Amino acid sequence: MRQIKDILRLQWSQGLSMRSIARSLGVGYGSVQEVVQRATAAGLQWPLPAELDDAALAQLLYPGNQGRPRRRAEPDWTVVDTELRRKGVTRELLWLEYKQAHPDDGLQYTQFCIHYKRWRQTQNVVLRQSYRAGEKMFVDYPGQLVPILNPRTGEIRPAPLFIAVLGASSLIYAEAQEAETLPYWIDGHTHAVEYFQGVPALTIPDNPKTGVHHACWYEPELNPTYADWAAHYGTVILPARPDHPRDKATAEVSVQIAERWILAVLRHRTFTSVAAANEEIARLREAINDRPFQKRTGSRRQLWEMLDRPALRPLPATPYEFAEWRQAKVPFDYHVTVDHNF
C-alpha cells in the first residue's frame, strides 16, 4: 500500500479516527485498520526511523506479498466458448467446474465473465454471435454465379450457387444449381440437411422470392411448398428481417468464404454441366470444412461432430417429395388447367 506512512502519521501523530483517515485518503476502513494493526505488531512508533523507506516499510508489514501479484489460473477460453454452444450449458456451470479444478488460484465468477468477454472481443466478428448447437441453419445464394458452357452452341449460362451453413459449427454445404427456381431451392435444402445428417430447429433464409412471397418483420408469407417442406422435416422457417444483415451474419461470412475458396478457385475452369461443376465444388467444400480455424483450435467438421451432429433432429424416414401448390378457380365445366392439361 503506497499510503502506509500517511495512515500511520494521521493515526499516531494527528490522532484521527480510522474512519476519518479512510475518508481522507480514499481507502477502505478495513485497509486502514489492517495497516495500524500490522505496524503496532511490528513495534513501530511515530516518528518512523529515518532509514525506513517505503519499500522497507512494506517489506516489514507485508513480508509475504512482495514481488508481482499472483497470477490467476485462467481456463482455455476456446473450450469455454465451445461448451457454451451446447444446449443447457451456462457460464455459471462452467465456472463451477473450473473452480473445482482451481479452488485456490481460480478466478471468481465476476472476473470469469469479464475475462471471457474480453477474450471474445479479440476474436473474429463471426464468433461474437452465440449460436446453440443444432439450433440454426442459414441458407442463401451468393451474388456470383458458376458459368456453364454448352459445348454444342458455345453459349455460356450462369448457374447459381446454393449455400447452407450451420450456426454453431459453421459447417458449410454448397452446390451449383440449374436455376434459382422453387424445385432447385427445395432440393438444395433437402441435400443440405442430408449432408448435415440432421435437421436444425430453425432454418433462416434471406427472403428470396422462390421461398418467401411477402417479406415481413413479424409475419412473412412463405411459399406453400416451402412451408410443406419445413413441416415434413420438423423445422421452422424464420426469414431474416429485411435490411438486417446481422440476422444472418454467419451466412454472409460463409458466402464470402465460398466466393473466395470455391468460385475464385474455379474462375479459370470451364464446366460443360452442373454435375461436373458440383464434383469440383464438393472437393473444395470438404477442404473448407476440414481446414483448421485461424484464431481457435479445431475445424468446422470437428465442431460439427462435437456440437451440431449430436443436437440435430433425426431425418425423417423418407426425403421430401416435391409438390407445388397453386390456387385456381373452378369454372363451369369443373376442369382445372395444370401444366396445360385439364
Q: Where are the alpha helices (DSSP H) in the chain?
A: 4-8, 18-25, 29-41, 54-61, 77-84, 91-101, 109-121, 182-196, 224-233, 249-258, 274-290, 300-303, 309-311
For 81-110, what is each residue's pLDDT tens digit? 888 877 778 888 899 889 888 888 888 888
Using alpha carbons, select from 163, 137, 164 the residue that is nearest to residue 311.
137
More confident residue, 35 or 247: 35
Q: Is the pLDDT of residue 230 over 80?
A: yes
Residue range 297-317, pLDDT digits in tens: 789 999 999 989 999 999 999
Give the number of C-alpha atoms closer than 13 A to the C-alpha of residue 17, restricted to the C-beta side: 3
Distance of CA 288 to the CA centre of its chain: 18
pLDDT of 218 higher than 70: no
Task: Please state the rounded mean pLDDT for residues 54-64.
Answer: 76
pTM over 0.85: no
pLDDT at 340: 83
Mean pLDDT of 25-35: 83
Q: How far is residue 40's CA from residue 225's CA, in Å, rounded to a whole number?
A: 85
**Residue of 128, 91, 81 whose CA lies nearest to 112:** 91
Give the closest residue to 285 by CA, choosing from 258, 255, 312.
258
Q: What distance in Å separates the CA atoms of residue 316 and residue 233, rounded to the nearest whole number?
A: 6
Give the distance between the most distant pair of CA atoms in the chain.
117
| Pairing state between β 156-159 and 146-149 | antiparallel
Q: What share of the chain is helix, strand, coil (3-state, %, to 5)?
A: 45, 15, 45
Going by C-alpha positions, the residue among 163, 153, 246, 167 that lies closest to residue 202 is 167
Q: What are phi and psi of 204, to 5 degrees?
A: -120, 100
Tell me the CA end-to-end span of the chain in Å, nearest whole number. Answer: 94
> How much of the chain exceeds pLDDT 70, in percent?
89
Grade residue 219 by pLDDT with cuts at 50, 70 and 90.
low
d(CA 301, CA 309): 10
CA distances from 101 to 73, 90, 98 (A): 10, 17, 5
**Angle between helical axes of 182-196 and 224-233 (0-180°, round to 10):** 20
Closest listed residue to residue 250, CA positions, set 296, 310, 205: 205
β 236-237/202-204 pair status: parallel
- Long-range Cβ contacts of 238-246 (<8 Å, 24+ apart): 238/202, 238/203, 238/204, 239/204, 239/205, 239/206, 239/207, 239/211, 239/212, 239/215, 240/204, 240/205, 240/206, 240/207, 241/217, 242/207, 242/215, 242/217, 246/129
Query: What's the pLDDT at 90?
Result: 87
Q: How confident is the model at residue 154 (pLDDT cuts 50, 70, 90)?
A: confident
Task: Specify the 3-state DSSP secondary structure of 175.
Answer: strand
